[in-house]
Chains A and B, each alone.
Chain A
Amino acid sequence: MMRNWSDRNIEEILGEILRAGVILSALVVFVGGWLYLIGNAWARPDYRIFRGEPTDLRTLGGIFHGALQLRARAVIQLGLLCLIATPVLRVMASILGFAAERDRMYAIFTSLVLGILLYSLLGAGSAF
């Protein structure tokens, strides 16, 4: 079965989304890293014992709030959030693409994947 024109179209859009997401997140992480180094270069970090991140670095609200105040660690987390959001966007775009092709079966499969992704990002962590 040959790929039709519309399939190629979806693939090109997906490629652009992935590229843009990675570039954007690398830039934000880089800026955050710069701020972090300026403020903390001589601090002595200890990663030997796992303590877990404070709440404002592990919830969406906390990260956005901190990043708006240009707090270095929050800016880095924001960049990492962009990175995590890239595959999510890609899945959303695929749903639209399959819907445009009137491929109901794959629109449903892809929506299922999106549901699992969103459950993990928004719901699963707080269940513990």
Chain B
Amino acid sequence: MTIRVLVAKVGLDGHDRGIKVVARLLRDAGMEVVYTGLFQTPETVANAAIQEDVDVVGLSMLSGAHLTLAPLVVEALRAQGSDIPVIVGGIVPNNDLDDLKAAGVAAVFGPGASALEMVASINEVVSQTRA
């Protein structure tokens, strides 16, 4: 079954180079990709994810607000009874990995992650949720 991914920008961070490139690389890998556009809130992302019936939500965060905003996206999804996994990519220092995992983020990609790594990780995250 084709994996459906929602890629999203939450908050005020306008850096959209990475998210657009990743969206195309995931499409090249055979996934269906929906992009929210800029300046979303945790609620609009959760709603879009549920409405689009995606298998995974990918957040792109480069402004340093990931510890505040990524957990809110997970909460917004869970509050609506959804178990869609959330992954994060962007400027995330190693020190923050444990906090993000504890907040329910399923995987994190730092700068320099390759397309192959991302595709493999999404496959794994999705198969765990589907199982």
A binds B: no
B residues adjacent to A (C-beta < 8 A): none
